[in-house]
Structure 1
Amino acid sequence: MTRSLDAAAVGAVTAGHAPYLFFIQLDFSQPLRVCSAGYDVDWNGATWMGIGALGSIEPIQEQASLEAIGVQLTLSGVPSEVIAITLAEQYQGKPCQIWFAPLRGDLQLATQPIRLFAGRMDTMNTEVGDTATITLSAESRMVTWDRPRTRRYNNEDQQSRYPGDRGFEYVAQMVEKSLIWGR
């Protein structure tokens, strides 16, 4: 997938010394938003907790074909109180996003961050000490491409998703209905 970069982004990344940040958002019931700065950063209407060196992000690959890709990242230095969220909740299948942001010389955002990855969390390993380390693997949404959809087009399925909707109320009667056309 090709990405279009504006002139500010191209100038920021091609400069002699280009400081940068990574933003990572893991969508639990309370989203975990961290960045690779040593201080908290306000961006996109939220405060991103600066945990310093994130740990590592394996190279993110892009495919031109319809193929599922994944990424593995390690977040180190996460405060233990934030870890309670990750240990208590079902996380598989929840959204995970990674952005790259070039910085100016005064360490402010040079341009809007560029989204490098958007997918769903798959497996997580958490090690807890004074601070915690999270090792997470995430997969792109293409993983579900071959998975069959289990949607039934009947009234019961419609009521389970949208209670009170009457759009499929008479579907069962229409199956055996004999229609005479053209009289």
Structure 2
Amino acid sequence: MAGFFTPEQIEILSASTVRVATLAELAFASGTMRLFAGAGVRDFGGQEWRGLGGLISIDGLGDMRTTQANTVSITLSGVDEATLPKAIGEPEEVVDRLIVIYWQFLDSGMQPVGSLVPIYFGLMQSPSIDRSEASDDEGAVCTISLPCEGLFVGRSKPPRGRYTDRDQQARHPGDRIFDRMSENRGKVVLWPDFD
């Protein structure tokens, strides 16, 4: 652990109260959006992050030391109507795009200490939208939920092809990397050969 965290971060982690900001970097097709669960606009790791206060929640961040495809869900509450058409009508903007969730340790003055610590890598999926009914004293509230699948989600899928010349020619005509593959079946190669 001493090689991963800086001495300042280790000091913060060993204190009785640990202050941390949770950051989400969403790589949409049109550009990257950086959000955090706080207020205002802050500089973390040399980048500008926009705070959403209590409007954002991240569920499913647990023990990430396994090789399972953990699913994380990001929920934005109180979203304005202008955001909805973009979330509904353009799936290529979101689906299978990278999301990285970080921790940024903070000192007692709420200033960043050390570099960002990535805690989750995943791929965004199609968002779902929930609209509550308007009441007499409040308007309708829109909530967007963005499910994200871990990078191991495709681990059990079959490969897209075989390591044969025929498959390689179908994908990349003229590429000759596998044209002698059949000759090497059962071949014994002595290496290193010092004779």
Same fold (TM over 0.5): yes
- Aligned ranges 1:1-183 → 2 under 5 Å: 4-29=4-29, 30-62=31-63, 64-76=65-77, 81=82, 85-87=86-88, 88-90=90-92, 91-127=94-130, 133-151=143-161, 153-158=167-172, 166-168=174-176, 171=179
Amino acid at match of 1:73: I
By how many angstroms is 1:127 displaced? 4.5
Q: 1:131–1:154: structure 2 CA closer, same or farther, 3 Å change rule?
A: same
Q: 1:19–1:64: structure 2 CA closer, same or farther, 3 Å change rule?
A: closer
Q: 1:168–1:130: structure 2 CA closer, same or farther, 3 Å change rule?
A: farther
The question of whether the paired residues in 1 share the 8 Å contact of 2:44 and 2:112 is answered with no
Q: What is the root-mean-square deviation of aligned Cα atoms in Å?
A: 3.3
2:172 match: secondary structure = helix
The question of whether the paired residues in 2 share the 8 Å contact of 1:28 and 1:86 is answered with no
1:154 match: secondary structure = helix
Q: 1:15–1:85: structure 2 CA closer, same or farther, 3 Å change rule?
A: farther
Q: 1:65–1:51: structure 2 CA closer, same or farther, 3 Å change rule?
A: closer
- Structure 2, unmatched stretches of 5+, are 132-138, 184-195
Q: 1:140–1:169: structure 2 CA closer, same or farther, 3 Å change rule?
A: closer
Percentage of matched positions with identical amino acids: 19
* Residue matched to 1:162: none
Amino acid at match of 1:135: S
2:171 match: secondary structure = helix
For 2:109 and 2:147, the matched residues in 1 are separated by 33
The superposition leaves residues 79-125 of structure 1 with CA deviations (integer Å, 9 ceiling, x where unpaired) of 65555543323222211111111212222201212111101113422
Amino acid at match of 2:149: E
* Residue matched to 1:180: none
Q: Scaled by the length of structure 2, what TM-score is found?
A: 0.68
The question of whether the paired residues in 2 share the 8 Å contact of 1:93 and 1:120 is answered with yes
By how many angstroms is 1:4 displaced? 3.7
Amino acid at match of 2:100: Q
Amino acid at match of 2:160: T
Amino acid at match of 1:10: I
For 2:33 and 2:87, the matched residues in 1 are separated by 9
The question of whether the paired residues in 2 share the 8 Å contact of 1:28 and 1:85 is answered with no
1:143 match: secondary structure = helix
